[in-house]
Amino acid sequence: MASKTNDFQFGIEWVRRAMSHQKGVEIEIPKHAFNKKWEGPDICKGHILSPSKDGKFVAIAKFEGEDYNTYLTSSSLMLCDSKAKWRDGFFTAKLEQKRRMLDSKHKNAYQRSVDMIEELLRDKDFDLTGKNIVTLDGMGTNKLAYEKVLSDFDVPSTMHPRIITFELDSDVALAQRSALGSKDVFSTNSDPFFSSKSLFGGRIPKIEHILSLKNRVLTDEMKQEVVMLNLDYCGGPPLNHSPQKCSYFMETVIDNLPNLRIVAFTIARRGHKNLDSTFDDIVKPPYGFYLWKTYIDNVKVICKVYKRNNDVRNLVIPGYWWKSSSKSLKKKTFSGIVRRRNGKLTYDVYVPYDKTTYSMRKDALQKYRF
């Protein structure tokens, strides 16, 4: 049964409507997306025939060498190994997007995104070329804001950051690709080889798992270039009803993004009693950042935006700092992120390489700062 969407999402109905617009589009889907008894090639090539309204299926396709049609789900079309040459935005979907944007709650979300990227662009010494902006976005609101500001600031297209959108629901993710024509939209569950055994806070991968663990959707190299993160939650982060677990989890997420400049958290008041006073318990203000703005325009949510300050945060630690390390490791260097001050002269430093927090003296921080 298809999942329900909220007013901030385009869902399965828009995927199906878009598939009429996408008839004839060439697709490639890995064999592992189908039944294990499938005897076709490793990559199955075909094209879209029509929409499907049968259960969870969204499209009917015809693959090369097959005499019968195949029914496809959004999940199979959103796998990171799947490819499709989707046509540009579906006119009706774009009209609906504009219609929803007339609502005050959408205007508020849009304006928050405008403010954030404008602040990012005010840093004249900072070049966005090759950088990444990562956001949660169910109907392209944040993406619209980023693109509008980049245009208004006359940023050359060659210097635009890559805007990467994540969605937990494959239908919602595919709606943005097939109905809105949005590029770089991914389902958090699109890497089938991403182990659910290592997930903290649930068995289905969420954006936080993508940001903090190895995967093929957002590689470690891509994480190095993330400069803005907009966690625009409909409800709240994983484990948010257990503040101690949630805050530790979210700290680890942020610490896997060493070059982050701006980070935003939006949490719904619904289900969070006294959120004004408990927000910082759920998501602690990240070390090396200061509170830039708090948004309460939408009475149903609170959004806090943090901006990078001048504190030492990123370290490049030589392997010989660990006296017990092997000869081969002593010759290497490792990234480290300062988590917090722990006393007058020591700091807690998180090392993504082994996901361990070490105590480091202040003089070492100054020596290894990046």
Domain at 273, CATH number: 3.40.50
Helix, coil or strand: residue 131: coil
Concatenated DSSP letters of 192-250:
TTS-GGG-SS-SS--HHHHHHS--SSS-HHHHHTEEEEEEE-SS-STTTTSHHHHHHHH
CA 134, CA 132: separation in Å to the nearest integer? 6
User: Residue 344's pLDDT band (boundaries 50, 70, 90)?
Assistant: confident
As given in the structure block, the two tokens for residue 45 are 């090539």
Residue 14 lies in a domain: no
Residue-wise pLDDT tens digits, 313-323: 999 999 999 99
Q: Is there a single domain that holds both residue 193 and residue 243?
A: yes
Q: What is the mean pLDDT of residues 106-133?
A: 92
- Domain boundary at 68, 84, 100, which? 84
Q: Is there a single domain that holds both residue 215 and residue 338?
A: no
- Domain boundary at 84, 115, 137, which? 84
Q: Is there a single domain that holds both residue 248 and residue 132?
A: yes
| Contacting residues for 135 by C-beta, under 8 A, at least 6 apart | 113, 142, 143, 146, 163, 164, 165, 166, 229, 230, 232
Q: Is there a single domain that holds both residue 239 and residue 340?
A: no
Residue 359 lies in a domain: yes
75, pLDDT greater than 60? yes
Number of alpha helices (DSSP H) and beta strands (DSSP E) in the chain:
12, 16
User: Residue 194's pLDDT band (boundaries 50, 70, 90)?
Assistant: confident
Residue 18 lies in a domain: no
Average pLDDT taken over every residue of the chain: 93
Residue 77 lies in a domain: yes
Residues spanned by the domain of 40: 23-84
User: Residue 332's pLDDT band (boundaries 50, 70, 90)?
Assistant: very high
Q: Is there a single domain that holds both residue 166 and residue 230?
A: yes
Distance of CA 107 to the CA centre of its chain: 21
Specify which residues 231 forms β-bridges with: 265
Q: Which single residue is written with the structure tokens 């994480």?
A: 223
CA 314, CA 293: separation in Å to the nearest integer? 23
Say what the pLDDT of residue 251 is. Answer: 94
Residue 2 lies in a domain: no
Q: Is there a single domain that holds both residue 174 and residue 245?
A: yes
Listed range (29-38, 210-219, 252-261) with the worst mean pLDDT = 29-38
43, pLDDT greater than 90? yes
Pairing mode of beta strands 132-136, 226-232 = parallel
Residue-wise pLDDT tens digits, 137-152: 999 999 999 999 999 9
222, pLDDT greater than 80? yes
34, pLDDT greater than 90? no
Buried b (16+ CB within 10 A) or exposed e, 316-325: ebebebeeee
Q: Is there a single domain that holds both residue 29 and residue 46?
A: yes
Number of domains in the chain: 3
Residue 228 lies in a domain: yes
3, pLDDT greater than 90? no
Q: Is there a single domain that holds both residue 159 and residue 229?
A: yes
Say what the pLDDT of residue 126 is. Answer: 73
Listed range (2-11, 108-117, 336-345) with the worst mean pLDDT = 2-11
Residue 152 lies in a domain: yes
CA 135, CA 278: separation in Å to the nearest integer? 24
Q: Is there a single domain that holds both residue 254 and residue 183?
A: yes
- Domain boundary at 263, 284, 308, which? 308
Q: Is there a single domain that holds both residue 299 and residue 318?
A: no
Q: Is there a single domain that holds both residue 73 and residue 193?
A: no
User: Residue 181's pLDDT band (boundaries 50, 70, 90)?
Assistant: very high
Domain at 56, CATH number: 2.30.30
Residue 8 lies in a domain: no
Q: Is there a single domain that holds both residue 224 and residue 351?
A: no
Say what the pLDDT of residue 92 is. Answer: 96
Say what the pLDDT of residue 1 is. Answer: 44
361, pLDDT greater than 80? yes
The share of the chain scoring above pLDDT 70, in percent, equals 95
